[in-house]
Amino acid sequence: MSKLSQEFIAFSVNAGVLRFGEFVTKAGRNSPYFFNAGLFNEGGTLAKLADFYAQALLDSGIEFDMLFGPAYKGITLAAATAIALANKGRNVPFAYNRKEAKDHGEGGTIVGAKLQGRVVIIDDVISAGTSVRESVDMIRAAGATPCAVLIALDRMERSGKDGALSEHSAVQEVTRAYGMPVVSIGNLNDLLHYISQAGAGAELARYKEAVSAYRDRYGV
DSSP 128-176: SSHHHHHHHHHHHHTT-EEEEEEEEEE--BEEEETTEEEEEEHHHHHHH
- Rounded to whole angstroms, the Cα distance separating 169 from 115 reads 28
DSSP H helices, the chain, are: 3-14, 43-60, 73-87, 130-141, 170-178, 188-196, 202-205, 208-218
Whole-number Å distance between alpha carbons of 10 and 189: 14
Q: Phi and psi for 47 in degrees, rounded to 5?
A: -60, -40
Strand partners, 31: 23
Q: Are 31 and 41 in contact (CB under 8 A)?
A: no
Q: Catalytic amino acids?
A: 102, 104
DSSP annotation of 38 reads G
* Backbone phi, psi, residue 107, to 5°: 65, 180
Let me know if 134 is exposed, middle or buried by CB neighbors in 10 A (0-12, 13-18, 19+): middle
